[in-house]
Amino acid sequence: MKPSLAGRLAALVLAALPVADGQALEVNITPGKAVVKTLHEGRMVTIQRNQDQSHVLSGTYAKTSRKCPPFCIQPMQVAPGVATVGELEVLDFIENRVNQGTGLLIDARTPSWHREGTIPGSVNIPFTAFELSQEPAALDAILGRLGVTRKGRRSVVEGMWNSVRNLAGANDETSHHWDFSQARELLLWCNGMWCGQSPRAIRNLLALGYPPEKIRYYRGGMQAWQSLGLTVVKPD
């Protein structure tokens, strides 16, 4: 998918910004990288690690045990063909996909979680937005944000028939309804290895026909992100 005009402009802005000297910080991301910059809700954010080497987690993401179900350990591979990534790959995705306007970093958690803090550069699209039971207009709107279009309008009779089939447990919102040729690359995440929100969103996207090679899964999520002291922002 070609970068959007907004993506190209953002890339030019980011390219013109000075990058902090890696020697200026004691806690770097890698030996050769101190920070990553990205736009978040129209403002520039610098992602780096917490420089307080005595800092420890507290609160929600310090917990080790939660009732299962629903908070069960997620598999390393959420679905065939979908790559599972770590923090360095997330940062690379921000620099080379999000900043270029060709990819979306999706915080798939519900809005209440998102408001508590998110990974810079993320957009909040709750996992519930990808449910197969969504009304066609709602799916059109959500998938449109991902660069996906419907191949053609269905007749009223076809729409009614599909509604009847859906009520009976069948699902016709499959890939033959959608054009994924311009679909963006996606990286979805949620709260951590115990969170099923982004895996559920990914499985529903695949059921709709989204190409698995265009989807990545950050299994560590917010818990792993915070355990490394990486920057978290709160929505405006």
- pLDDT tops 50 at residue 179: yes
- What is the predicted pLDDT for the residue at 236? 75
Mean pLDDT check: name the lowest of 2-16, 17-31, 190-204, 213-227. Answer: 2-16
- What is the predicted pLDDT for the residue at 35? 97
When pLDDT is averaged across residues 218-234 and rounded to a whole number, the result is 97
Q: What angle do CA 185, 188, 192 make, to 5 degrees?
A: 155
When pLDDT is averaged across residues 40-54 and rounded to a whole number, the result is 96
Maximum C-alpha span of the chain: 66
- What is the predicted pLDDT for the residue at 22? 42
Judge whether 209 and 172 are in contact, CB under 8 Å: no
DSSP string, 26-76: SS-SBTTB--EEEEETTEEEEE-B---TT----GGGG-----TTTSPPPPS
**For residue range 62-77, what is the model confidence (pLDDT) as tens digits?**
999 999 999 999 999 9
Mean pLDDT check: name the lowest of 65-74, 123-132, 162-171. Answer: 162-171
When pLDDT is averaged across residues 2-19 and rounded to a whole number, the result is 51
Mean pLDDT of the chain: 87
- Check residues 161 and 135 and name the one with the higher pLDDT: 135
- pTM for this model (two decimals): 0.83
Give residue limits of the domains in the chain.
Answer: 5-150+177-227
What CATH class is the domain 5-150+177-227? alpha beta
